């Protein structure tokens, strides 16, 4: 099956790349230097788990209570910002806050993850020196390059990584150890990192990131063939990789124009199943890292849509179409909007794979696309109750789109999903709730209810879901 993304380079915004790097790089607080100086062979795991999985030693019910406290605190913070900093509180919002213990709306619950351990279907590892100075160590880093105190700790005891992925990480360690090329995640490394993805049916995608800055073409071809042979016919075949890629990145950060993603062996993609629907996962595809909990999340969102009788749904930043396709059973029509042509093409493939007829994907900037859709009365969009699902991740949405939503009276219902309600994501929510002024036009929304789904057991994070109406 030929996919449009095959010919595309690894198109990712710099902010998203930095986010991805942060998943495999542990930046400790201000006392980083003292932590690293005290790091030993015996305590390296504790130092790593204190940052990556800080709640792992607590009973799971206690973890959920901690996350409920954090989500309630975020809802209170939003109200305080509106009231004290934006001077935008209304009598209605004040009344809701008084009835909800200072929150912008009632908080219902934190829904638990069906799987607590080994739930991550994607893991990234970097390469560097361990606590004893041994090079070519595969793991997560503690410390920072700029402080010259970065060391790497092996992640084999972390509870959120499955045994399958740990075995693959060990195979990566063995391969990097025997390779003739230098492995270091800094700008001086040839081998830079590796990423593992897997599905519930046992498919495994593995790709290595390589910086060829000091390699001849002959040496690059040797690296490609060496990697392919190791996982096809060599010792690496035992871990069962079904899709192998090499990402050649001519720079410290992958970005437009400096990256080529090369398929080496196996299938070009893996396929995951979510709530009875199938999705193609390419190397650059976004997909929730906890599949069982994602099923809970999207069923919950679907129920919220049914409650508000939403007819048309805007899936903003739709990526490869996962959310829109999953929610297509709950509404009359879905419009997926994304700026990435490769993502839109992959979304169309996913719609065909699931025989989803009531969905349309549009490539363009979200705020401009929404404005054009309304002006053109796109597919009768004006006639029905319109909702929007916003799931922008940690980076939040462009404020221009938030303003466009506010000025679009057809949009009656918004479901905002955030794994980290802080920074830009928090500002998005504030901008949707504050009364109309000279900058923000259009009737404001009201937070009706909020809940959370625990997508990340053993960590302090979960997905906050806020239902906004007007």
For residue range 183-231, what is the model confidence (pLDDT) as tens digits? 888 777 899 999 999 999 999 999 999 998 888 999 999 999 999 999 9
3-state secondary structure the chain: CCCHHHHCCCCCCHHHHHHHHHHHEECCCCCHHHHHHHCCCCCHHHHHHHHHCCCCCCCHHHHHHHHHHHHHHHHHHHHHHHHHHCCCCCHHHHHHHHHCCCCCCCEEEEECCCCCCCCCCEEEEEEECCCCCCCCEEEEEECCHHHCCCEEECCCCCCCCCHHHHHHHHHHHHHHHHCCCCECCCCCCCEEEEEEEECCCCCEEEEEEECCCCCCHHHHHHHHHHHHHHHHCCHHHHHCCCEEEEEEECCCCCCCCCEEEEEEEECCCEEEEECCEEEEECCCCCCCCCHHHHHHHHHHHHHHHHHCCCCEEEEECCCCCHHHHHHCCCCCEEEEEECCHHHHHHHHHHHHHCCCCCEEEEECCHHHHHHHHHHCCHHHHHHCCEEEEECCHHHCCCHHHHHHHHCCCCEEEEEEEECCCCHHHHHHHHHHHCCCCCCCCCCCCEEEEEEEECCCCCCCCCEEEEEEEC
Joined together, the tokens standing for residue 211 give: 């910086």
Q: Which of 21-35, 141-155, 187-201, 362-376 has the lowest mean pLDDT?
A: 21-35
- 319 in the same domain as 443: yes
- 347 in the same domain as 237: no
- 203 in the same domain as 161: yes
- 385 in the same domain as 238: no
- Confidence (pLDDT) at 174: 96
- Confidence (pLDDT) at 380: 55
Closest Cα to residue 66, out of 465, 459, 466?
Answer: 459
Q: Which of 133-137, 294-298, 466-470 has the lowest mean pLDDT?
A: 133-137
**Between these two residues, 315 and 187, which has the higher pLDDT value?**
315
| Section 138-143 average pLDDT | 88
Residue 70 within any structural domain of the chain: no
Closest Cα to residue 432, out of 390, 461, 377?
Answer: 390
Average pLDDT, the chain: 86
- 419 noted as active-site residue: yes
- Confidence (pLDDT) at 284: 81
Look up the CATH number of the domain holding residue 357: 3.40.50.150
The rounded distance, in Å, linking the Cα atoms of 32 and 52 is 14
pLDDT at 308 over 80: yes
- Confidence (pLDDT) at 18: 38
Joined together, the tokens standing for residue 279 give: 């999705």
Domain boundary among 240, 269, 298: 269
- 129 in the same domain as 105: no
Question: 338 among the known binding-site residues?
Answer: yes
pLDDT at 360 over 70: yes
Q: Read off φ and ψ for residue 455, nearest 5 degrees.
A: -85, -15
**Between these two residues, 32 and 421, which has the higher pLDDT value?**
421
- Confidence (pLDDT) at 138: 95
Residue 311 within any structural domain of the chain: yes
- Confidence (pLDDT) at 225: 95
Give the range with max mean pLDDT: 24-33, 261-270, 306-315, 373-382.
Answer: 261-270
Cβ-based neighbour number of residue 181 at 10 Å: 19
Residue 71 within any structural domain of the chain: no
Strand order in the sheet with 359-363: 107-111, 446-453, 463-469, 411-418, 386-390, 312-316, 333-338, 359-363
The rounded distance, in Å, linking the Cα atoms of 443 and 414 is 13
Q: Which of 65-79, 95-109, 128-142, 161-175 has the lowest mean pLDDT?
A: 128-142
Q: What are the C-alpha distances in Å from 200 to residues 107, 154, 240, 407?
A: 32, 25, 14, 42
Question: 43 among the known binding-site residues?
Answer: no
Q: Which of 74-78, 336-340, 373-377, 437-441 has the lowest mean pLDDT?
A: 373-377
Question: 288 among the known binding-site residues?
Answer: yes
- For 426-449, b where at least 16 C-beta lie within 10 A, e where not — what string? bbbbbbbbbeeeeebebebbbbbb
**Between these two residues, 341 and 295, which has the higher pLDDT value?**
295
- 40 in the same domain as 20: yes
The rounded distance, in Å, linking the Cα atoms of 72 and 450 is 9
- Confidence (pLDDT) at 151: 87
- 363 in the same domain as 279: yes
**Lookup result for tokens 């007829």:** 357
- Confidence (pLDDT) at 185: 82
pLDDT at 33 over 60: no
- 166 in the same domain as 212: yes
Residue 44 within any structural domain of the chain: yes
The rounded distance, in Å, linking the Cα atoms of 284 and 244 is 13
The rounded distance, in Å, linking the Cα atoms of 171 and 159 is 19
Look up the CATH number of the domain holding residue 17: 2.40.50.1070
- 397 in the same domain as 314: yes
Domain boundary among 269, 301, 324: 269
Residue 78 within any structural domain of the chain: no
pLDDT at 169 over 90: yes
Catalytic residue from among 408, 419, 444, 462: 419
The rounded distance, in Å, linking the Cα atoms of 1 and 267 is 9
- Contacts for 216 with CB less than 8 Å, ≥ 6 apart: none
* Region for 380 from its dihedrals, namely left if φ exceeds 0, alpha if ψ lies in -120 to 50, beta otherwise: left
pLDDT at 11 over 70: no
The rounded distance, in Å, linking the Cα atoms of 120 and 217 is 36
Q: How many domains, in total, are found in the chain?
A: 2
- 441 in the same domain as 355: yes
Question: Residue 161's domain spans which residues?
Answer: 4-52+118-269
Q: Which of 51-55, 255-259, 319-323, 464-468 has the lowest mean pLDDT?
A: 255-259
| Section 414-425 average pLDDT | 90
- 458 in the same domain as 404: yes
Residue 187 within any structural domain of the chain: yes
- 286 in the same domain as 264: no
- Confidence (pLDDT) at 256: 53
pLDDT at 344 over 70: yes
The rounded distance, in Å, linking the Cα atoms of 261 and 7 is 9
Domain boundary among 269, 290, 305: 269
Residue 57 within any structural domain of the chain: no
pLDDT band at residue 85 under the 50/70/90 scheme = confident
Residue 454 within any structural domain of the chain: yes
- Confidence (pLDDT) at 32: 45
């Amino acid at each position: 099956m030929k996919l449009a993304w095959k010919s595309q380079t690894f198109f990712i915004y710099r902010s998203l790349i930095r986010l991805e790097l942060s998943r495999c790089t542990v930046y400790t607080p201000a006392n980083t230097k003292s932590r690293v100086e005290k790091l030993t062979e015996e305590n390296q795991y504790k130092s790593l788990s204190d940052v990556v999985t800080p709640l792992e030693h607590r009973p799971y019910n206690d973890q959920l209570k901690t996350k409920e406290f954090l989500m309630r605190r975020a809802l209170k913070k939003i109200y305080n910002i509106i009231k004290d900093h934006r001077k935008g509180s209304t009598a209605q919002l004040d009344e809701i806050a008084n009835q909800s213990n200072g929150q912008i709306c009632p908080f219902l619950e934190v829904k638990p993850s069906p799987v607590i351990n080994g739930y991550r279907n994607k893991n990234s590892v970097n390469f560097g020196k361990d606590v004893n100075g041994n090079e070519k160590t595969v793991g997560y880093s503690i410390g920072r390059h700029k402080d010259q105190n970065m060391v790497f700790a092996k992640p084999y005891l972390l509870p959120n990584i499955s045994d399958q992925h740990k075995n693959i990480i060990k195979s990566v360690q063995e391969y990097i150890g025997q390779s003739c090329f230098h492995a270091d995640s800094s700008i001086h490394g040839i081998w830079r990192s590796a990423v593992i993805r897997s599905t519930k049916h046992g498919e495994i995608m593995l790709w290595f990131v390589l910086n060829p800055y000091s390699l001849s073409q002959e040496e690059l071809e040797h690296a490609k063939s060496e990697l392919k042979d190791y996982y096809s016919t060599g010792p690496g075949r035992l871990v069962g990789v079904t899709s192998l890629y090499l990402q050649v990145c001519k720079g410290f950060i992958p970005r437009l124009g400096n990256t080529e993603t090369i398929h080496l062996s196996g299938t070009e993609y893996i396929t995951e199943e979510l709530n009875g629907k199938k999705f193609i996962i390419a190397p650059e595809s976004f997909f929730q890292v906890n599949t069982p909990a994602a099923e809970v999340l999207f069923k919950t969102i679907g129920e919220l849509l049914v409650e508000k009788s939403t007819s048309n749904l805007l899936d903003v930043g739709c990526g490869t179409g996962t959310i829109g396709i999953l929610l297509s059973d709950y509404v009359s029509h879905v419009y997926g909007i994304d700026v990435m042509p490769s993502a839109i093409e992959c979304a169309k493939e996913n719609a065909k794979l699931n025989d989803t007829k009531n969905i349309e994907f549009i490539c363009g900037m979200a705020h401009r696309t929404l404005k054009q859709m309304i002006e053109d009365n796109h597919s009768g969009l004006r006639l029905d109750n319109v909702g929007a699902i916003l799931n922008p991740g940690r980076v939040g949405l462009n404020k221009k789109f938030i303003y466009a939503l506010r000025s679009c009276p057809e949009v009656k219902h918004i479901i905002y999903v955030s794994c980290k309600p802080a920074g830009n994501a928090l500002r998005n929510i504030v901008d949707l709730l504050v009364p109309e002024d000279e900058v923000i036009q259009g009737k404001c929304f009201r937070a009706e209810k909020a809940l959370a789904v625990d997508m990340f057991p053993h960590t302090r994070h979960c997905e906050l879901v806020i239902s906004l109406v007007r």
